[in-house]
A and B are shown apart, each in its own frame.
Chain A
Amino acid sequence: MTLAVFELRRMVRNPLIWAAVVIAVVVEGARASQWWPDLTFVTVRAVTASTLVAGAVLVAANLAAGRDRRGGLPESLGALPSRAPARTRAVLLAAPLAGALAAAAVIVPLVGYALLRGPVAGTFDGWEALNGVALAALAATAGAALARWTPWPFTSLLVIFGFAFLLVANPRGEYGGWALPWIATHDATLGPRPSAAHLLYLVAVAVAVGAVALLRHGPRPVPAAVAAVSLAVAVPVVAQAAHLPKPAPVACRDHDGLTFCPRPGHEPWVAGWAAALRPITSVVPPRALARVPELRQELYGTLPLVWRPGVSETGVAGAVAESAAGLEPGPGCGRARTVVALWLTGRVAALDHERAPANWSWPPGAAGPGDGWHVYPLTESGHTAVVPGRLNGAFYDDADLANARALLRDPGAADRVRAHWTTLTDPATTTVDAAPLLGIEAVTGRGLCGEPR
C-alpha cells in the first residue's frame, strides 16, 4: 500500500497527464463555447476529450510499471525484499486512481462550464461521465499490462495510435460498436446511449487487463480467476449494450405562433429559438404563421440537434420565412413573396453573398441553375441542408436578393409588409408590381430561375 501511495503521488504530479488535462479542457471548452449548452452532447464531448488524458495515463502507467526494468536498476531492486508482483500491484492501484482523477478534472469543468451558460438543454448522464473516468482507469491498467508483457515502451504509443485511429475513422462505432472503449459521436435519433452497461463493461475489462498484467509474474489462481470472471461479465454486457432503447417521443409546444418540437430535454431551448425567430413572427400575420409546419428538432430536421448561435438561425429562419410567405418549391424569381421571404430571413441572419462552392453538386432530380442568373449560397449552417440559390424548395436569383437587401435597409419596411401582406404574398404579384407597396425600386432579373435545363 505504501508503494501504491508513492506511485500515486508521482502519478498525480506527472506533467504529461496534466498537460493532457489542460489541453483537453481548453480545446473542448473553446469548441463548446460556440454552441448552446446541451448536457447530453457536452457530456459525450467531455468524455471524448478525456480520451486524451486516457492516452497520457496509459503512457505514464506504462513507464511506471516498466521502471524496474530500466535505468540499470534491476540489479539493485533484485536485492530488495519487495518483489515485482508487488510493484505491479502498486501501479495497478495507483495509476487507475490517478487516471480517474485526471479524467474527472476534464469532465467536471466542461460540464460545469455548460451549466454556467444558458439555456441548458439535454440531460446530464452521470453514467456517461463515469465512462470517461473508467476509460482512463482502463488505459492505466492497459499501460501496466503492456509494460509487463512487452519490453518496449513504444508499444504503449502504438496502442494509443491504434485507438486514436479508431476514434477518428470510426467515430460512430460502425465497426466494433459498444465493444470499443468509446464512441465519440452521439446520434440522438438512436435513443439514449447504453452508458451504465458500457461503464460496467469498461470496469470489467479494466479488471481483466489488470489481472492479465499480474499473470505475467506466473500462473496464479487468483488473477486467472479474476480475469475469467471479468471477461465473463464484460462479454454479455457489451452484447446487451448493442440493443439500444428507442428514443423517447417528442412533445411539441406552441410559442409565438409557431410549433416547436424539441427533443426530450431540449425544452429550455424553445424560448431561445422563439426569440431568434421573433424578427419574423413579429411581422408575419398569425394566419400566415399557421401555415408554417411544426419545427422539429431532429437529424436533418428544421431545428438542428445542436445550436450554434450566429450560424444555426439562418437555416431555420429560411424555412419559416419560406412557409410563412407561401413559397412553393420551384422557380420563385421575380415574385414579391420571394423578396418578402428573403427579407424575413435577412431580419434574422445576414444574407450571405458568396458564389456557390465550385464543388457544389445539385442533388439528383433537383433543378439546376438556368442561363442568365447566378446562384448564391444563402447560408452554410452545416446542420441544415441549404441549397445555393434556393430558399428551401424555392429558387431565387441575385435580383431577388438585391431587392430583399434594399428592403432590409428601409426602417419602415416592416409596417408596409404587415399592411400589404396578402397582396405581397399573392403568387401572382411580381416584384415590379409590388415595388410601390414595398417602397423600393425593383431590380429585375433576366427571367425565370430554376427551370430544368
Chain B
Amino acid sequence: MEPTLTVRELTRRFGRRTALDRVSLEFGTGVTGLLGPNGAGKTTLIRILATTLAPDGGGVRAFGLDPADREQRRALRRRLGYLPQNPGVYAHFTAFELVEYVAILKEMNDRRARHDEVRRVLAEVDLGDRARTKVRRLSGGMRQRLALAQALLGDPDLIVLDEPTVGLDPEQRMRFRALLSRLGESRTVLLSTHQTEDVTTLCGRVVVLKAGSVVFEGGPGELAARAAGRVWLTTAPPAGTYWRTPDGRYRTLGDRPPEAVPGEPGVEDGYLLLLGAEGVPA
C-alpha cells in the first residue's frame, strides 16, 4: 500500500486528559474503518486529519502536504471531504442552497460547473428530487445524507467521515456502502464508526483505538480471527455475558463453557475481545 496519509507520533491533550497518545499510522487508497469505544480518541484523530483541530505533538502529512503550514493546509482542504460527527445544517436554506454554499466555500467559482456538481452529489445521496426543499422539512436521515453530500463535493481525494451511517435506514445504508466502496477504489476514505457491520462490509483495513492508543491495525478478517476459538454456543445460559440467538441457543465469548460448541467468529467478536468489554475477558 502506497501511503497517501501519514500520521507520526500524534498527541493531543484536553486539559489533563490525553485524547491521543503518540499515535502513528499510515493510510492508503481504500476504506479504513476506525473503531473504538466512546472516548477512545476517534473523533479527535478524525478532527486532526480534517484539519479542524491542531495536534499538540507529532504531525500529519497528506498527499505530501503538511497541514501545520497555512498554505499547505488550505491546499489540503481543497482535496478533503469531511463529515463531522454532528454535522449542522441551516434549516432555512434549501438543500441545494446549503450544498452550494459549501461548494462556494470550497472555492468552486464557476457557476455552471458548481451547480452541476451540487446536483451530482445530491443525486449520489438520493436527494436529487429534494433540491428545492427547505432543510427544515427534511427528515433526520435526509439531513444526514445532505451532510454527506457536502462532504463529497469536488470529488475529494481524502474523505473523512465521522459516524456517517447514524440515522440512515437500511436501504440508505446499503446505498451509502455502495457509494463508499466505489469511492474507496481510487481515494483514501476514513470511516469512524461504532457499526462493526459497516467495517465488515466496507473496510479493507481496520484501526482500533483504545484510550488514545492504537491497539489493533489490520484487515477485518484479522480482527475477526482474533476471536477464533473464543466464540461459543450453548443450550443453557452460560456464566458471564451472553445473548440469545434466533435458534434458541446462547452465544458467549471467552473461555469455553461446559458443553459448548464453537461459533463462527466475526469482527465484532474480535473487537469486543480486543477491548475486553465488560463481561468479556480480553
A and B bound? yes
List residues of chain A with CB under 8 Å of any chain B CB. 1-3, 6, 10, 67, 70-83, 87
- With a CB–CB cut-off of 8 A, which chain B residues contact A67? 90
- How many residue pairs link A and B with beta carbons under 8 A? The number is 71
Please report the C-alpha to C-alpha distance between residue A87 and residue B108 in the assembled complex, in whole angstroms.
15
Tell whether B119 is near chain A: CB-to-CB under 8 Å: no
Tell whether B258 is near chain A: CB-to-CB under 8 Å: no
- With a CB–CB cut-off of 8 A, which chain B residues contact A1? 109
Q: Which 9 pairs, one residue from A and one from B, show the smallest C-beta to C-beta distance?
A: A72-B88, A73-B88, A78-B52, A79-B82, A82-B105, A71-B88, A75-B84, A81-B77, A80-B105
Q: Give the residue name and chain of the B residue nearest to A2 (CB).
A: B109
Question: Among residues 118 to 168 in chain B, which have CB atoms less than 8 Å away from a CB atom of chain A?
Answer: 147, 150, 160
Please report the C-alpha to C-alpha distance between residue A3 and residue B52 in the assembled complex, in whole angstroms.
21
Tell whether B91 is near chain A: CB-to-CB under 8 Å: yes
For the complex formed, measure the closest distance between the CB of A14 and the CB atoms of chain B, giving whole angstroms.
10
Question: Among residues 64 to 111 in chain B, which have CB atoms less than 8 Å away from a CB atom of chain A?
Answer: 74-75, 77-78, 80, 82-84, 86-91, 97, 100-102, 104-109, 111
- With a CB–CB cut-off of 8 A, which chain A residues contact B111? 2
Are B105 and A81 in contact, CB atoms less than 8 angstroms apart?
yes
Sample (9) of A-B pairs whose CB atoms are under 8 Å apart: A1-B109, A72-B88, A74-B88, A75-B87, A75-B88, A76-B102, A79-B77, A79-B84, A87-B105
Q: Give the residue name and chain of the A residue nearest to B147 (CB).
A: A76
For the complex formed, measure the closest distance between the CB of A31 and the CB atoms of chain B, giving whole angstroms.
33
Tell whether B50 is near chain A: CB-to-CB under 8 Å: yes
Q: Give the residue name and chain of the A residue nearest to B86 (CB).
A: A72
Please report the C-alpha to C-alpha distance between residue A6 and residue B97 in the assembled complex, in whole angstroms.
9
Are B102 and A81 in contact, CB atoms less than 8 angstroms apart?
no
Tell whether B51 is near chain A: CB-to-CB under 8 Å: yes
Considering residues A10, A73, A77, A83, which has the most beta carbons from chain B within 10 angstroms of its beta carbon?
A73
Are A82 and B104 in contact, CB atoms less than 8 angstroms apart?
yes
5 additional A-B pairs beyond A71-B89, A72-B88, A76-B84, beta carbons within 8 Å, are A2-B111, A3-B105, A71-B88, A76-B150, A78-B52
- With a CB–CB cut-off of 8 A, which chain A residues contact B104? 2-3, 6, 82
Please report the C-alpha to C-alpha distance between residue A72 and residue B90 in the assembled complex, in whole angstroms.
9
For the complex formed, measure the closest distance between the CB of A12 and the CB atoms of chain B, giving whole angstroms.
14
Picked from B51, B78, B86, B100, the residue with its CB within 8 Å of the CB of A78 is B51
- With a CB–CB cut-off of 8 A, which chain B residues contact A2? 104, 108-109, 111
**B interface, size bucket:** 20 to 34
- With a CB–CB cut-off of 8 A, which chain A residues contact B74? 81, 83
Q: Give the residue name and chain of the A residue nearest to B110 (CB).
A: A2
Please report the C-alpha to C-alpha distance between residue A70 and residue B101 in the assembled complex, in whole angstroms.
14
For the complex formed, measure the closest distance between the CB of B253 and the CB atoms of chain A, giving whole angstroms.
36
For the complex formed, measure the closest distance between the CB of B91 and the CB atoms of chain A, giving whole angstroms.
7
For the complex formed, measure the closest distance between the CB of B84 and the CB atoms of chain A, giving whole angstroms.
4
- With a CB–CB cut-off of 8 A, which chain B residues contact A76? 82-84, 87-88, 102, 147, 150
Please report the C-alpha to C-alpha distance between residue A78 and residue B86 in the assembled complex, in whole angstroms.
13
- With a CB–CB cut-off of 8 A, which chain A residues contact B106? 80-82
Are A79 and B80 in contact, CB atoms less than 8 angstroms apart?
yes
Are A79 and B52 in contact, CB atoms less than 8 angstroms apart?
yes
For the complex formed, measure the closest distance between the CB of B70 and the CB atoms of chain A, giving whole angstroms.
9
- With a CB–CB cut-off of 8 A, which chain A residues contact B86? 72, 75
- With a CB–CB cut-off of 8 A, which chain B residues contact A74? 88
Please report the C-alpha to C-alpha distance between residue A76 and residue B87 in the assembled complex, in whole angstroms.
7
Q: Give the residue name and chain of the A residue nearest to B85 (CB).
A: A75
- With a CB–CB cut-off of 8 A, which chain A residues contact B47? 75
Please report the C-alpha to C-alpha distance between residue A448 and residue B244 in the assembled complex, in whole angstroms.
114
Please report the C-alpha to C-alpha distance between residue A67 and residue B104 in the assembled complex, in whole angstroms.
15
Are A6 and B100 in contact, CB atoms less than 8 angstroms apart?
yes
- With a CB–CB cut-off of 8 A, which chain B residues contact A72? 86-89
- With a CB–CB cut-off of 8 A, which chain A residues contact B75? 81
Please report the C-alpha to C-alpha distance between residue A87 and residue B105 in the assembled complex, in whole angstroms.
8
- With a CB–CB cut-off of 8 A, which chain B residues contact A77? 102, 105
For the complex formed, measure the closest distance between the CB of A90 and the CB atoms of chain B, giving whole angstroms.
9
Are A79 and B50 in contact, CB atoms less than 8 angstroms apart?
yes
Are A81 and B52 in contact, CB atoms less than 8 angstroms apart?
no
- With a CB–CB cut-off of 8 A, which chain A residues contact B105? 3, 77, 80-82, 87
- With a CB–CB cut-off of 8 A, which chain A residues contact B87? 72-73, 75-76
Q: Give the residue name and chain of the A residue nearest to B78 (CB).
A: A81
Please report the C-alpha to C-alpha distance between residue A82 and residue B78 in the assembled complex, in whole angstroms.
9
Considering residues A67, A70, A79, which has the most beta carbons from chain B within 10 angstroms of its beta carbon?
A79
- With a CB–CB cut-off of 8 A, which chain B residues contact A78? 50-52
For the complex formed, measure the closest distance between the CB of B227 and the CB atoms of chain A, giving whole angstroms.
35
Please report the C-alpha to C-alpha distance between residue A71 and residue B107 in the assembled complex, in whole angstroms.
21
Picked from B77, B90, B108, the residue with its CB within 8 Å of the CB of A73 is B90
Are A82 and B91 in contact, CB atoms less than 8 angstroms apart?
no
In the complex with contacts A2-B109, A81-B74, A82-B106, A75-B52 CB distance below 8 A: yes
Are A80 and B77 in contact, CB atoms less than 8 angstroms apart?
yes
Considering residues A2, A80, A82, which has the most beta carbons from chain B within 10 angstroms of its beta carbon?
A80
For the complex formed, measure the closest distance between the CB of B83 and the CB atoms of chain A, giving whole angstroms.
8
For the complex formed, measure the closest distance between the CB of B261 and the CB atoms of chain A, giving whole angstroms.
48
Please report the C-alpha to C-alpha distance between residue A3 and residue B103 in the assembled complex, in whole angstroms.
10
For the complex formed, measure the closest distance between the CB of A59 and the CB atoms of chain B, giving whole angstroms.
14
- With a CB–CB cut-off of 8 A, which chain B residues contact A70? 88, 90
- With a CB–CB cut-off of 8 A, which chain B residues contact A79? 50-52, 77, 80, 82, 84, 160
- With a CB–CB cut-off of 8 A, which chain B residues contact A10? 97
Question: Among residues 32 to 86 in chain B, which have CB atoms less than 8 Å away from a CB atom of chain A?
Answer: 47, 50-52, 74-75, 77-78, 80, 82-84, 86
Considering residues A72, A73, A76, which has the most beta carbons from chain B within 10 angstroms of its beta carbon?
A76
In the complex with contacts A6-B104, A79-B51, A81-B78, A71-B91 CB distance below 8 A: yes
Are A73 and B52 in contact, CB atoms less than 8 angstroms apart?
no
Please report the C-alpha to C-alpha distance between residue A5 and residue B104 in the assembled complex, in whole angstroms.
10
- With a CB–CB cut-off of 8 A, which chain B residues contact A73? 87-90
- With a CB–CB cut-off of 8 A, which chain A residues contact B89? 71-73
Please report the C-alpha to C-alpha distance between residue A87 and residue B101 in the assembled complex, in whole angstroms.
11
Please report the C-alpha to C-alpha distance between residue A2 and residue B88 in the assembled complex, in whole angstroms.
22
Q: Give the residue name and chain of the B residue nearest to A15 (CB).
A: B92
Considering residues B47, B75, B102, which has the most beta carbons from chain A within 10 angstroms of its beta carbon?
B102
For the complex formed, measure the closest distance between the CB of B73 and the CB atoms of chain A, giving whole angstroms.
9
- With a CB–CB cut-off of 8 A, which chain B residues contact A3? 104-105
For the complex formed, measure the closest distance between the CB of B217 and the CB atoms of chain A, giving whole angstroms.
25
For the complex formed, measure the closest distance between the CB of A218 and the CB atoms of chain B, giving whole angstroms.
12
- With a CB–CB cut-off of 8 A, which chain B residues contact A80? 77, 102, 105-106
- With a CB–CB cut-off of 8 A, which chain A residues contact B83? 76
Q: Give the residue name and chain of the B residue nearest to A1 (CB).
A: B109
Q: Give the residue name and chain of the B residue nearest to A71 (CB).
A: B88
In the complex with contacts A76-B147, A79-B77, A71-B51 CB distance below 8 A: no
